[in-house]
Amino acid sequence: MDRTERFYKIELLLRSRGCISFAALQAELEISPATLKRDLQYLRDRLSAPIVYDVAANGYRFSGDAASGGANAGRHELPGLWFSEGEIHALLTMHQLLAGLDDDGVLARHLQPLLARLEVMLGPDEAQARELMRRVKVIGTARRRVPSQYFELLGGALLRRRRVWLRYWKRSDRSSSEREVSPQRLVNHRSTWYLDAWCHASDGLRRFSLDAMRDARLLETKARQVAVRDLETALDAGYGIYGGADAKLKWATLLFDADAAQWVANEEWHPRQKARWLADDRYELQVPYNDPTELAMDILRHGDSVVVSGDKALVALVRGRLVRAAAAYA
């Protein structure tokens, strides 16, 4: 047990027992009297822990507000940070959610030391924390696995503001190309990772799927920086991963029947969506889009529970997909 872990345990013991003798603290921590004295002094003098010696009770306790459940009660001290038990449990739960995005353990192996510290901070509740983590499950479907070396390389390039050379597979025409890009951000959409970057070959912002990268290399050249607002305007305006630019937006109007409406009314398809209930209990949803590919997939997911209204091109696309699907099962 290192010193930081001992600090957490001292605080937990003081809070759980109210007052505890020097001998009992020493036994719990399994350290020498001299080490315990140094720890108590450090907590008081350097971390401002309100620890006092109670002569009448022959033990150590927290004084005043900290001992009586005031504003600072029930909190655990981490050098530079404060966490309540609820916050620690939330962080442990978040670890499970991250694991659902982290097939190759890229993030987990860096977060594991923090996770171990958080469990120690809970002291007697450590077993409960582990049980909590087993009770949180993330189910992903059709997740694309990304080689960990590309994720780490791109994350490093973002932090260091460096360019990256890519060999990229373009699925639309089944061709490979080489390009130099300035990474701007990593995006996780429907359990798939993408890189938003300034492509120096195309002289513009592009979105690259990490699973389509065949090779990547960090360059020494300084990356071109693009403001977040410009990124959002160029890539996030429309629907889904094919968001596109704000200037080219079209709006789709979708009419859901009463049964499907009960579910769709609680969903956000787009941050700028418009919605209203109709008199016959149908639900009208309007969403902006540029490329109809992903929007059509989501419309088809609802089968005959939804109808596209007004947009002739989108109606034709969805109708054509349905006709071909029906023919395949004929």
Strand 162-170 versus strand 81-84 pairing type: unpaired
CATH number of residue 64's parent domain: 1.10.10.10
209 with 291, same domain: the answer is no
Whose CA is closest to 18, among 62, 48, 84?
A: 62
Name the token pair of 109: 């192996």
Name the token pair of 47: 């971390």
pLDDT for res 127: 67
169 with 217, same domain: the answer is yes
Query: Which H/E stretch holds residue 276?
Result: strand 274-277
Gap between the Cα atoms of 72 and 53, Å rounded:
19
Whose CA is closest to 26, among 34, 232, 224, 18?
A: 34
Q: What angle do CA 55, 61, 65 make, to 5 degrees?
A: 120
Instruction: Please count the CA atoms within 13 angstroms of the CA of 263 that sit on its side-chain side.
Output: 8
> Where does 46-84 have alpha helices with state H?
64-68
Answer yes or no: is 263 within a domain: yes
* Structural domain for 272, as ranges: 246-328
175 with 280, same domain: the answer is no
| Beta-sheet strands, E only, within 171-212 | 175-189, 192-199, 204-209
7 with 100, same domain: the answer is yes
Q: Residue 195's beta-bridge partner residues?
A: 186, 208
CATH number of residue 204's parent domain: 2.30.30
Q: Residue 252's beta-bridge partner residues?
A: 287
Q: What angle do CA 124, 130, 136 make, to 5 degrees?
A: 140
Whose CA is closest to 1, among 24, 21, 26?
A: 26
80 with 175, same domain: the answer is no
Torsional sign, CA 232, 236, 238, 244? positive
pLDDT tens over the chain, length 330 residues: 777 778 878 888 888 888 999 999 999 999 999 999 999 998 888 777 889 999 999 999 988 644 444 444 444 444 544 565 666 667 777 766 666 666 666 666 666 776 666 666 555 555 666 676 666 666 666 666 666 678 889 989 998 999 999 999 988 889 999 999 999 999 988 878 899 999 999 999 999 999 899 999 999 999 999 999 999 989 988 888 888 877 778 999 999 999 999 999 999 999 999 999 999 999 999 999 999 999 999 999 999 999 999 899 999 999 999 999 999 998
Name the token pair of 138: 């993330």
pLDDT for res 103: 60
Name the token pair of 205: 């912002």
Gap between the Cα atoms of 330 and 323, Å rounded:
10
Residue type for position 193? W
Whose CA is closest to 290, among 253, 328, 235?
A: 235
Gap between the Cα atoms of 237 and 312, Å rounded:
21
Phi, psi of 134 (to 5 degrees): -75, -20
pLDDT for res 71: 42
pLDDT for res 120: 61
Answer yes or no: is 234 within a domain: no
Which of 101, 134, 167 delimits the end of a domain? 134
Determine the length of the chain: 330
pLDDT for res 118: 65
Residue type for position 127? A
Q: Residue 178's beta-bridge partner residues?
A: 167
18 with 98, same domain: the answer is yes
Q: Residue 251's beta-bridge partner residues?
A: 288
pLDDT for res 82: 52
163 with 256, same domain: the answer is no
Answer yes or no: is 92 within a domain: yes
196 with 270, same domain: the answer is no
Cβ-contact 22, 60 below 8 angstroms: yes
Cβ-contact 254, 309 below 8 angstroms: yes
pLDDT for res 25: 93
Domains of the chain: total: 3
